[in-house]
Chains A and B, each alone.
Chain A
C-alpha cells in the first residue's frame, strides 16, 4: 500500500494523478477463513482491523450484503462523545474517543476528527440534576466534562435562544474534546488498512445461513457460495435479529428507524455540537456548511430505512425554538437508518449460545462514536474469549438483571 502524504500529493499532481492505487482490493471468497465478520460497517471493519493489528489474525473475511459503509455507518450524524453515566459505558466510549484522536495518523487516512466540543442542554430542573450527576460520575471515571452556566452556553453558541417559548436553557453538560468525524472516511480508512493486511472485504455478498455442527459454527452460506470459518462475528446493527434467527437464538433487540436531515449550506455559524434532549433535537454544522439535524427514533419495528414524517416535523419544530435563525433554512435531504435498540440502551458484545459465534450489536442510535473502541474490545473477545472492555456487555446481563442503564442518561442523545 502506498502511503498518503503531502509528498504523494505533489508527486501525483505532477504525474497527472495516474499513480493513485485502489484503496482496497475487490476480493472473491476463499474456501476457509480463521475468522469471518458479517457486516462491513464501522464496527465490523474495526473489529477485523484490531484482530489483525493486536492479535495477528489476518486470515479474515468481511462479508457485506451491500457496499461497505452503506448501513448506519454512512447514515449517522457523526457525533462522538463519552459523557455516559455508567462505568462500563465510560470505559468503552472513552477508549473509543481517545482512539479517534489519533486515528487519522494510525490509519494514514484523514477521518477528519474534529474535537469541537459537544454540549447537552439542560432545560428542566430534572435535567440539571441529571447532568450534574453525570459530570460528577465522569470526574470519577476520568472523563473530562463539566456543567456550564447559561452564560457560557451563549458564549459558545451565539445563535442559541436561551429563553425559548417552552423550555429555558438552564445550563449544559459540556465535553470539550468530544466532536465529530467524517463517517464514510472511518469505514474507508479501516477498510484500506484491513485490505493492506491481506484481509478480504467481499461486497454484495449476503449471508443467508449459518452452518453448525454439534453446537459449534462451521461456516456461512452466502449469495457467493458456502464459506467455512472457525470463528464468526455478527456485526450487522439493525439486522442482528435476522442473523440471530439464522443461528438459532433470539436477542433482546428491536429494530426501528432513526432519521436525520441536512439543510442547505450556509456560512459558518455554530462550531460546536448542540443536543437538546428535552425538546428532542440536535444540530451541528458540517464542513460544507450544512446544518446536520437529528432527533428521536420512531416507535415501531421497521426495516425500511425510511422514517415517519412527523418525527422530522417534531425535530425541526424543537430546533426552531432553540435556534430561531434556522426557521428560514431550506432542508435539502432526509434519510433513515435501522437502529438496533436494547432494553437498557447499551450495546451487546458477547459470546452466543453457538460456540464460535460472537455478536456485536445493540448500539442503537449511538454507535458511530464507539467504532474504534468497540472494534478494539470485540477483537479481543473474539481472539481470547474475554475482554475487560466488553465483558460487562454480555448477552446474559439481561437474565442476571445486570443492566447498564443508559436510557435515563442518554434520552434521545446519540
Chain B
C-alpha cells in the first residue's frame, strides 16, 4: 500500500485515506489559447515510466490537496510538498537526482 506524508497535517496517510488527482503542475490554458495548447492541457500527459509528479488529496483527513514525487516503476516515494507552488522544491529535485541520475520530466532537470 502506498503511504504518503500529508505536508499539512503531517500524517503518514495510507492510500485508502487519499484520493489521487493526476499529473501535477499543469498550466491551465483557457479562453484565448490556441487549440494545441488547450488539447495538451486537457488530455496530453507525461505518463512516464519512472519519476513522476502528481497531485493527491488527503480526502479522509484534513481534506487538502498536496503534491507528491514518486517513481511509477518501483512505487518509491521521493517526497511530498505543498500545493501552493508551480515547481517542486529544489531539495526534493536534488534528492531525485541523487537516486535517479539522468531523470527527466517536462522541463525539470
The residues of A with any CB-CB pair to B shorter than 8 Å are 239, 241-242, 245, 250-255, 299-304, 308-310, 343, 398-399
How big is chain B's contact interface, by range? 20 to 34
Closest Cβ–Cβ distance, residue A269 to chain B (whole Å): 32
Known: A300-B2, A302-B75. A398 touches B39 (CB 8 A): yes
Q: Which residues of the other chain, A, contact B54 by a CB distance below 8 angstroms?
A: 300-301
Residues from chain A with a CB closer than 8 A to the CB of B72 are 255, 301-304
B35 at the binding interface (Cβ < 8 Å): yes
Interface of A, helix, strand, loop or mixed by DSSP: mixed
Residues of A within 8 A of B1 (CB): 308-310
Chain B residue nearest to A242 in the complex (CB):
B49
Tell me the smallest distance from the CB of B45 to a CB of chain A, in Å: 5
- Flag if B47 contacts A299 (CB, 8 Å): no
Q: How many inter-chain residue pairs (CB < 8 Å) link A and B? A: 64
Asked whether any CB of chain A lies closer than 8 Å to the CB of B44, the reply is yes
User: Does residue B95 face the partner (Cβ distance < 8 Å to A)?
Assistant: no
B73 touches A398 (CB 8 A): no
Verify B47–A254 contact, CB threshold 8 A: yes
A399 near B39: Cβ-Cβ < 8 Å: yes
CB distance from B70 to the nearest CB of A (A): 8
Q: A252-B44, A308-B1 are in contact. List 10 more A-B contacts (CB 8 A).
A: A242-B48, A253-B47, A254-B22, A299-B19, A300-B2, A300-B54, A301-B47, A302-B72, A303-B72, A310-B15
- Report B-chain residues with C-beta under 8 Å of the C-beta of A343: 42-43
Query: Cβ of B15 and Cβ of A250 under 8 Å apart?
Result: no
Give the chain A neighbours of B26 by CB distance below 8 A.
none
What's the least CB distance linking B57 to chain A, in Å? Answer: 11
Interface status of B27 (Cβ within 8 A of chain A): no
* A250 in contact with B73 given A308-B2, A308-B15, A309-B1 (CB within 8 Å): no
Residue of A nearest to B68 (CB): A300
Which residues of chain B are near A254, meaning CB under 8 Å? Answer: 22-23, 45, 47
Interface contact A399-B20, CB-CB below 8 Å? no
- Between A and B, 10 residue pairs with Cβ closer than 8 Å are A241-B49, A250-B46, A251-B44, A254-B22, A300-B54, A301-B47, A304-B73, A308-B1, A310-B16, A399-B39
Contact A399 B36 (CB under 8 A): yes
Contacts A299-B20, A309-B1, A310-B15 hold; do A304 and B75 have CB atoms under 8 A apart? Answer: yes
A308 to B15, CA, bound (A): 9
- Chain B residue nearest to A340 in the complex (CB): B47
Complex contacts, B22 vs chain A, CB 8 Å: 254
How far does the alpha carbon of A251 sit from the alpha carbon of B39 in the complex, in Å?
11
Kindly name the residue among B20, B44, B73 whose own CB sees the greatest number of chain A CB atoms within 10 A: B44
